[in-house]
Amino acid sequence: MSTDMHNLTLAQISKGLEAGDFTSVEITQHFLDRIDTLDQNDGGINSFITVTKDQALADAKAADERRAAGNATAWTGVPFAHKDIFCTDGTLTTCGSKMLSNFVPPYDATVVDNFKQQGAVCLGKTNMDEFAMGSSNESSFFGGVKNPWNKETIPGGSSGGSAAAVAARLVPAATGTDTGGSIRQPAALCGLTGLKPTYGRCSRFGMIAFASSLDQAGPMTQTAEDAAMMLNIMSSFDEKDSTSIDQAVPDYTDTLNNDIAGKVIGLPKEFFPDSLDSEMAATVKAAISEFEKLGCTVKEISLPSTDLAIPAYYVVAPAECSANLSRMDGVRFGHRCDDPKDIEDLYKRSRGEGFGDEVKRRIMIGTYALSTGFYDAYYVKAQQIRRLIKNDFVKAFEGVDIIMGPVTPTPAFKAGEHSGDPVEMYMEDKFTLSCNLAGLPGMSIPAGQINGLPVGLQMIGNYWDEANMLNMAHQFQQVTDHHKQTPANI
């Protein structure tokens, strides 16, 4: 048995299990040992909130028995991890918050159940910004996550635990969620492939809500091929989710090797402002030039409402979070204060103690925007701007097959650098937010490095066009090795 199994991709692990090169128990134990050594200790990465060691080994043993009986799928016995926003029956699900620090759901999220049905082995639940609110994974009640490329820097958020765990090869892949860039941004900062599907492609049932019209689950992996494998499992129509769309799910691995010559790439001038760091612009454009070598053509386009995305998002998302988190009151769900003197004291102290600063900030903004006298001025106006942003994309896709640009303004910044300035932190998502507001699929793939830190290339596809994005990303990864780079000392 190889001692570097952690460097195998999902596809390679699946094939290795099928060939009998190793068992699920062996590779599961290998990853659990790495988590023990690199994550769950002082100075560790802190990418996991809960490690389900006993359950994982039991599931791995069952998977090996299933494979021996000839009942295996491509996923049987393959290890991975879930972001701690997905409800898991009998396993702690915290959303990175004190409010849910003792919450054990009695049911599985649909995405969780989809993996269980395939015989996959979940190693645990990954750390995240509290209730998915953040861009740096510093707002977690369980402590910040460190970026394996440089532990002084942040891994991105809110799916920073998933990103750091995959980057450090503690798991071959993990689930994430993306409300305003929370898969793509940490994937970019940790050198991964991360994909946010079209809104409605993956069920939101059992995925604890932040902003219901924006949240979407997606894969975080080493390669586009692995992302296609994960999306095959994560995508499904679900009658339990009113936002789930009954749209046929293709096998995303079938079209990975299609020729991409002739594809037209749109570069929005708004994604390359004069203020963009020159090294970031050069790195992203160098990656795009690789697509030109593969036969693609590039044209400049305009998405004129792009600058309105941040103000629109930070009205819509807080408003929806204010409504969604109202149930966390110490009565129906969540942390309950000690010895409340009356019902008002119970509500105030339970929510005051249970929520962190960033969550409180967004609840207050959202409640204000929804209040009498301000609803039309703020929330309705933000939704109108949202439509303008969507219209920009609809017009752009009349002439291009895919849109590309940077994911983040800079590589990973140092922990604490923006924590005193919420607006500066919000600006980290300025290239990703419009994709969520429009409900489009978006993706980040490794595109190079600046000063030893990864840089991501963002790809935005048309509605239900995940297969095209994955095909283009896979072809790019056949001629580059950015996705093969790993942090030192892991």
CB-count exposure of residue 57 (10 Å: 0-12, 13-18, 19+): middle
Task: Quote the DSSP letter at residue 414.
Answer: B
Single-letter amino acid, residue 140: S
Q: What is the DSSP string of 214-244?
A: T-EEEEEESSHHHHHHHHHHHB---TT-TT-
Q: 232-240 long-range contacts, Cβ below 8 Å, gap at least 24?
A: 233/75, 233/114, 233/115, 233/118, 233/120, 234/111, 234/114, 234/175, 234/197, 234/202, 235/197, 235/201, 235/202, 236/110, 236/114, 236/202, 236/203, 237/203, 238/110, 238/203, 238/205, 240/110, 240/203, 240/205
Choosing from 158, 159, 322, 444, the catalytic residue is 158
Active site residue 434: no
Distance from C-alpha of 388 to C-alpha of 431, rounded to nearest angstrom: 16
Catalytic pick among 24, 47, 83, 350? 83
One-letter amino acid at 208 equals I
User: Is 299 annotated in the active site?
Assistant: no
Cis-peptide into 158, omega within 30 deg = yes
Annotation marks residue 140 as catalytic: no
Set 14, 162, 182, 305: catalytic member: 182
Q: Which residues are annotated as catalytic? A: 83, 158, 182
